[in-house]
Structure 1
Amino acid sequence: MIADARRAVVRAGVAIGIGMGGFVDGILFHQILQIHNMLSARIPPDTLVGAKVNMVWDGVFHAFVWGVTALGVALLWRARGGSARVPGRMFGGALLLGWGSFNLIEGVIDHHLLALHHVVERLGPSVWDWVFLVSGVALAATGWMLTRQIDS
């Protein structure tokens, strides 16, 4: 696979990985486990109004990650061109790189800089915010290494 085509597949995979990481965060932490919402450190969801405001911002977050995922799918379709094969290890690595990037960026900005929410809101700033960042580093590093390997 030529270098430009490889870069195009990696860009597509990173975008899809960012979106999928966002969906896992929103679905698992916001909805299923309900341990935080988008603005729960600023507007506690312990009243009807607070819950509704957080629900709206969770929806804005989900709309954003849906858009990033759709962009990634379009980029993948375009990168694929006439080729029926997308290298699996490289694409999987790009997905991990994107997911790790999501965890790093979202963790640094939302958990640490803006303090919009924390991984486990009832604990406030905690070790879980740092575990989230470390998971981002681990996913991104693994993904980066996989995108550099040649598929057999």
Structure 2
Amino acid sequence: MARTQVHGASLAPAGIVLGIGLGGFFDGILLHQILQWHNMLSARLPPTTMANMKTNMMADGLFHAFSLLATIAGIALLWNALKQRGDFPPSGLALVGYLLAGWGWFNLVEGVIDHHILQLHHVLETLGVSAWDWLFLASGVVLIGVGHVMGRRRHFPGHAASAMRRP
């Protein structure tokens, strides 16, 4: 069978940048705010005084601003990709895959830099460097791998079997 060629822009950049933004929001909302396992600078400035808590809150706010900017940039990239693709509908599975890959890249980069290199905070701050930090990195690697595999699969309308083939 002949492969169907995809025309226009790739969903990969849009999905990855959106995934970075959404991964940041997931981390900030769940781990920083709801579970309160850590703050952006909690390893350097433990939130034991009001001044440290205010500084951590400001750093968390800047972190959320970065997440918002990445999400907006991802939406702009997605919009551009959809315009360039013309009449070919994008694959929802591919976009979800690249979102997962972006989330994984967020976990991997943020985990290496903030948890291990700069030691700004840890996944579960009270434990310091722990298995949680390494699991966070591992989740990034898994999300990157699964996301890119999903993102490279295409669904072409009218060709059910083509969802399992690479273009």
TM-score (norm 2): 0.86
Equivalent in the alignment of 1:113: 117
Equivalent in the alignment of 2:15: 13
1:101 to 68, 84, 105: 105
Over aligned residue pairs, what C-alpha RMSD do you find?
1.3
Equivalent in the alignment of 1:22: 24
Counterpart-to-counterpart distance in 2, 1:138 and 1:10:
17
1:62 aligns to 2:64 (yes or no): yes
Equivalent in the alignment of 1:87: 91
Q: CA deviation at 1:2?
A: 2.4
Counterpart-to-counterpart distance in 1, 2:43 and 2:87:
47
3-state DSSP of counterpart to 2:154: coil
Counterpart-to-counterpart distance in 2, 1:55 and 1:14:
27
Q: Paired residues, what number?
A: 150
Instruction: State whether residues 39 and 56 of structure 2, in contact with CA within 8 Å, keep that contact through their aligned partners in structure 1.
Output: yes
Structure of larger gyration radius:
2
Counterpart-to-counterpart distance in 1, 2:154 and 2:39:
40
Letter in 2 for 1:102: F
Q: CA deviation at 1:150?
A: 2.1
Letter in 2 for 1:139: L
Counterpart-to-counterpart distance in 2, 1:3 and 1:148:
14
Equivalent in the alignment of 2:160: none
| Structure 1 stretches of at least 4 aligned residues deviating more than 3 Å after TM superposition | none
3-state DSSP of counterpart to 1:2: coil
Q: Can you list the C-alpha shifts for 1:57-114, whole angstroms capped at 9, x where unaligned?
A: 0000000010000000011011100447221111111001000000000000000011
Counterpart-to-counterpart distance in 2, 1:56 and 1:84:
44
Letter in 2 for 1:75: L
* Unaligned runs of at least 5 residues, structure 2: 156-162
1:132 aligns to 2:136 (yes or no): yes
Counterpart-to-counterpart distance in 1, 2:135 and 2:147:
18
